[in-house]
């Protein structure tokens, strides 16, 4: 999407003047590309091109491709600041609250990107799948199931519902869910989530 001018036909080797900002640029480009193409579909060279530097620099900062990925994915969603909101919601509005939190995360690209990247990558990459598996079980299922009294299986069905709709909406882009409003989605999904966790 972002096509840097790439005017720098030739830049002399050696450290650039001024403070170092390339590392951050690499991570930003990596997040964008991983979200768009998944782990296997994203090459180190494409990241470097988007970040305006040499591929070897990516390698220098992060060791290898796996290093770039795990560093770029560090902070998909921090459940810490989300759980309080969940627990202080009245029990009969738990479903609605949860759906709203999900929708908030998906709202701006900034926060959605790592999640989608993870989903996309986990489909074809075993390592990414492991990452996602652990995130789901330890960060979502256990906490929700522990806080509320529900079984893990029911909690997982709720997660499945949200993940499934997210994939249809943001990856496959099937209508009408792709262009439904957030309010419509709340109305649609909240009762089901409530049913699973109630």
Partner DNA sequence: AGCAGAACTCATCATGTGTTGAATTTAAGT
Partner DNA sequence: ACTTAAATTCAACACATGATGAGTTCTGCT
Q: Which residues bind DNA (CB under 7 A)?
A: 8, 10-23, 42-46, 52-57, 59-61, 64-66
Alpha helices in 42-93, H assignment, sequence order: 44-51, 55-62, 65-72, 83-87
Under DSSP, the state recorded for 83 is: H
Identify which range of 12-20, 51-59, 75-83, 160-168 contacts a copy of itself by CB under 8 A: 160-168
Residue 188 interacts with a copy of itself (CB under 8 A): yes or no:
yes
User: What is the footprint of a copy of itself within residues 26-55 (CB under 8 A)?
Assistant: 37-38, 40-41
State the binding partner of 15 from a copy of itself, DNA, none, CB within 5 to 8 A by kind: DNA
Q: Which is nearer to DNA, 63 or 164 (CB)?
A: 63
Residue 192 interacts with a copy of itself (CB under 8 A): yes or no:
yes
Cα gap 139→80, rounded to integer Å: 9
Per the structure block, which two tokens stand in for 138?
């330890």
Note every long-range contact of 125-134, with CB atoms under 8 Å and residues 24 or more positions apart, other chains counting: 125/38, 125/39, 125/40, 127/39, 127/66, 128/39, 128/69, 131/70, 131/73
Cα gap 181→82, rounded to integer Å: 22
Q: Which is nearer to DNA, 39 or 196 (CB)?
A: 39
Cα gap 166→10, rounded to integer Å: 43
CB 66 within 8 A of CB 127: yes
Residue 195 interacts with a copy of itself (CB under 8 A): yes or no:
yes
Q: Which is nearer to DNA, 48 or 116 (CB)?
A: 48
State the binding partner of 27 from DNA, a copy of itself, none, CB within 5 to 8 A by kind: none
User: What is the footprint of a copy of itself within residues 92-131 (CB under 8 A)?
Assistant: 119-120, 122-124, 129
Rg for the chain (alpha carbons), in Å? 20
Contact residues for a copy of itself, defined by CB under 8 A:
37-38, 40-41, 119-120, 122-124, 129, 132-133, 136-137, 141, 152-154, 156-157, 159-165, 167-168, 171-177, 180, 184, 188-189, 191-192, 195-196
């Amino acid at each position: 999407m972002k096509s840097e001018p790439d005017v720098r036909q030739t830049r002399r080797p050696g450290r650039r003047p001024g403070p170092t900002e390339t590392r951050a640029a690499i991570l930003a480009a990596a997040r964008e590309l991983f979200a768009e193409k998944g782990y296997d579909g994203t090459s180190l060279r494409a990241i470097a091109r988007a970040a305006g530097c040499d591929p070897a620099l990516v390698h220098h900062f992060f060791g290898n491709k796996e290093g770039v990925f795990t560093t770029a994915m560090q902070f998909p969603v921090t459940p810490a600041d989300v759980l309080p909101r969940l627990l202080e919601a009245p029990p009969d509005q738990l479903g609605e609250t949860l759906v709203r939190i999900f929708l908030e995360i998906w709202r701006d690209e900034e926060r959605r990107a790592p999640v989608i990247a993870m989903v996309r990558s986990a489909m074809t990459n075993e390592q990414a799948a492991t990452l996602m598996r652990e995130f789901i079980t330890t960060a979502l299922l256990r906490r929700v199931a522990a806080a509320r009294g529900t079984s893990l299986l029911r909690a997982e069905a709720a997660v499945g519902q949200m993940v499934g709709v997210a994939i249809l909406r943001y990856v496959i882009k099937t209508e009408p869910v792709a262009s439904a409003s957030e309010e419509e989605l709340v109305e649609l999904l909240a009762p089901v989530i409530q049913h699973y966790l109630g």
